[in-house]
Structure 1
Amino acid sequence: MTVQLSQPNFQRLTRIVQNLPDFANVRDRRRLVAGALQGAAQADVIMARLDLDGSPMGVSVEVVRFFCQFGRVAYDKEALAVFLNYIQPFTGDEDKDFIVELFQNYPLDVPASPSRGINNWRGMDSTADIKEKIIGENTLRDIYILNLALEASKAVVRIRTPEGLGTGFMIAPDLLMTNNHVIQSQEVGDKSNFSFNYQLDINGKECPTQIIGALPNGAFYTNKELDVTVVTLKDVPNFGKPLIFKSKLMRRDERVAIIQHPGGHLKKISIQNNFVAYADNQVLQYTTSTEPGSSGSPVFDDDFLVVGIHHSGGMLPEPSTQRRYLRNAGTSAVALLNDLKNNAPEIYARLAI
């Protein structure tokens, strides 16, 4: 999840970072950030995306904003919390106290580690306290959602086009939806292949995969602005049920999940610690993990109904503020359904809604 600091707290924290001894030049900044992220699974991703070149003032603003918006670098570690814990020893007493207050006032999850007297080494939790705890996000979920996810996954398809790889999903017995930038035209669709069941089985072995093509002169629709394409497939294998759309305006901090073929590889699901960061009638932004090749994947709500289609990721502008945040993004089901209803009614009539 993202951390929304108040403007005064954001400004003070950027001043603290700006004045750190190891923030004077690019080389020292890289060493500082790398040290903070040592051992984190996503350290290489962050170091690749974070631009540390520029004046200390400007870079400190970007660094704080980046860590606020990145989310978690591990199961219970907010990126901003990891960074604050690392820099705290290099700050003065007043700044140390301010960092401790940040942990008290924001959902950073990882406790700050201020200097303690030797008599405090035992810790403060009683035996009753440590038997059960919710650590960070409450990750306890009803088991039935695993069944919902498995059923939904049957309709998710790997796409190989002459230009690259992507993901799509079945919205009717023979209709597949993906991105416009994956399949731009019926000609590209006709030259593409679509792989069902490209995933591992319960024993960790590859399942038998069915590869088919598009139906020549079949129903086809595309919208570049919404980044969506619908194509008709030929000789579709039995995949279960088409996915169901939900015309729902999502809200900030609601959970989402994405079933996808990241990098064109075996089917995977991103289901944990995924939240909506921004939503309106067309744009959906979220913290869910994806990779190139995930384009065209369905975005699900908690009931595994389709609330959007994934299309991009990176430092994306938030429509309401035009500030850039590290997020993934898609087109909302609200916009998709309205567009199909108005411009492709023959396809809209076949959807499960």
Structure 2
Amino acid sequence: MKLTGKQRKQLRQAIISAYPNPSDLEMMVSEELEWNLSTITLGQNYNKIVFDLIEWTQAKNKLEDIICAAYRVAPDNEDLQQFCQPIIRRLEEFIIQPTYNRDYGEFGSPINLSELKSDRQLESLFKPEPNLLDVGFLRRAVDRASSVCRIELSDGRILGTGVLISNQLVLTNYHLLCLEEEKDSTLNTDNLILKFGCYSSESGYETQGYTFQLDSQTPILSSSHTNKLDYLLLQVEPKILQVSDIKPAPWDIDVLPQRRMGINILQHPEGDSMKIAISSNGVREVYENIGLIQYVSRTSGGSSGSPCFNEDWEVVALHHAQRAGSFGKICEGILFRSIYQEISSYLK
């Protein structure tokens, strides 16, 4: 990104307006970007300090970083708003700020993201995917698809998606089986079935795949309520061990997704045959301290419990909520690393 001399002057004036004290600018640069202002400029007056900062960021191709950080911290400053208006759509992806309110009454709006002003702004978050996709990448996607199942009731009702993370262990969302916190989730397991390999065929019909029930003795090994980590660890009947086509998805608790990295979701949206959503820079925020990740992707009803894979096709999160717009969703998932801390004894 390059700015003209006139634009750099406007940006300098806007930054000084939004951060009138040098100490405010120094804190913003340090806390938001982890830059040391004193190593960037030795300016003797504030105008020269901001001028040097802008010149340095342009030379280092970091102009977008300083603009986004300045606007994110002081979005109400009129001068900064006026400067950012021509590029506001590009900035929107950096300023989506969540407010975590877990005290919701009815499941369906489990995250409270700041509202986007229009669907056009939500659409702008979707970067064009490359015209050419690596075949090896797609082969790994197909391989991981064998670990994904559709979760249904015996009467045909479809609840969501799950993922096999060990030989007989499927991970999915708690809220799929238990919409009310006081309700015992074990009441639903007798009629629960898991269908693996539900793909569309050349004829247009869905393949039959493999159907399993849960273990008759211990169907649920571990769980966390919807207002916590929202997961269920299900134990599948031993018959699944006889099917060589079904393989657990790989994961690595030492791998944590990073902001603006790719995220890919294998899912059964609306109970349909399996679909894949690829987002090359979809990760918006990672909140390791509360076990959450937010990302831009395309999901739908039935996608709850779907595995979120990183660019190396390792499970990094479990999709569980979304806020919809016409062109896609701002989604929220539970970090696998956080879930692992509660289920590690079953994965040895």
Q: TM-score range by the shorter chain?
A: 0.5 to 0.7
1:340 aligns with 2:334: no
Question: Residue 176 of structure 2 aligns to a residue in which SS?
Answer: coil
Provide the residue aligned with 1:24 in structure 2: none
1:210 aligns with 2:210: yes
Whether 2:333 is the aligned partner of 1:330: answer yes
Pair 1:13–1:198, CA change in 2 (3 A): farther
CA contact (8 A) 1:71 1:287 kept: no
Q: Is residue 13–residue 64 contact of structure 1 (8 Å, CA) maintained in 2?
A: no
Partner AA of 2:252 in structure 1? K
User: What are the superposed Cα offsets for residues 39-95 of structure 1, whole Å, 9 maximum, x if unpaired?
Assistant: xxxxxxxxxxxxxxxxxxxxxx9664764444457x74xxxxxxxxxxxxxxxxxxx
Q: Distance in 2 between matches of 1:176 and 1:265?
A: 19
Matches within 5 A, 1:1-353: 6=71, 7=75, 11-12=81-82, 64=117, 67-72=120-125, 76=128, 138=130, 140-161=132-153, 164-184=158-178, 185-201=185-201, 204-218=204-218, 220=220, 221-224=222-225, 225-234=228-237, 235-236=239-240, 237-247=243-253, 248-273=255-280, 275-281=282-288, 282-314=291-323, 327-341=330-344, 345=345, 347-349=346-348
How far apart are the structure 2 equivalents of 1:198 and 1:241?
Answer: 15
How big is the shift at 1:12? Answer: 3.3
Distance across 2 between alignment mates of 1:268 and 1:10? 42
Q: How many matched pairs?
A: 230
Compared with structure 1, are the counterparts of its residues 238 and 69 closer, same or farther at alpha carbon in structure 2 (3 Å cutoff)? same
Query: The residue matched to 1:277 in structure 2 has which SS?
Result: strand
Query: Residue 192 of structure 2 aligns to which amino acid in structure 1?
Result: S
Secondary structure, counterpart of 2:338 in structure 1:
helix
**CA-to-partner distance for each residue in 1:116-148, whole Å, 9 max, x for gaps?**
xxxxxxxxxxxxxxxxxxxxx656443211111
Q: Distance in 2 between matches of 1:243 and 1:15?
A: 44
Relative to structure 1, is the Cα distance of residues 297 and 63 closer, same or farther in structure 2, using a 3 angstrom cutoff?
A: closer
Cα RMSD (Å) = 3.2
> Deviation digits for residues 171-210 of structure 1, max 9, x if unmatched?
1121111000113423322221111111113564422222
SS in 2 for 1:145: helix
**What are structure 1's unaligned runs of at least 5 residues?**
17-60, 77-136, 317-324
CA 1:214–1:9: 2 relative to 1, 3 Å: farther
Q: Which runs of 5+ in 2 are unaligned?
A: 1-66, 87-113, 179-184
Query: Structure 1 residues 207 and 68 mapped into 2: Cα distance closer, same or farther (>3 Å)?
Result: same
Equivalent pair of 1:159/1:193 in contact (CA under 8 Å): yes
Give the CA deviation at 1:273. Answer: 4.5
CA distance in 1, matches of 2:131, 2:293: 23
Give the distance between the partners of 1:198 and 1:311, measured in 2 at CA.
Answer: 21
Q: Is the 8 A contact 1:257 1:301 kept in 2?
A: yes
Alpha-carbon distance in structure 1 between the residues aligned to 2:280 and 2:131: 8
- CA 1:223 to 1:199, structure 2 compared with 1: closer, same or farther past 3 Å? same
C-alpha separation in 2, matches of 1:300 and 1:142? 16
Could you tell me whether the CA contact under 8 Å between 2:261 and 2:280 is conserved in 1?
Answer: no
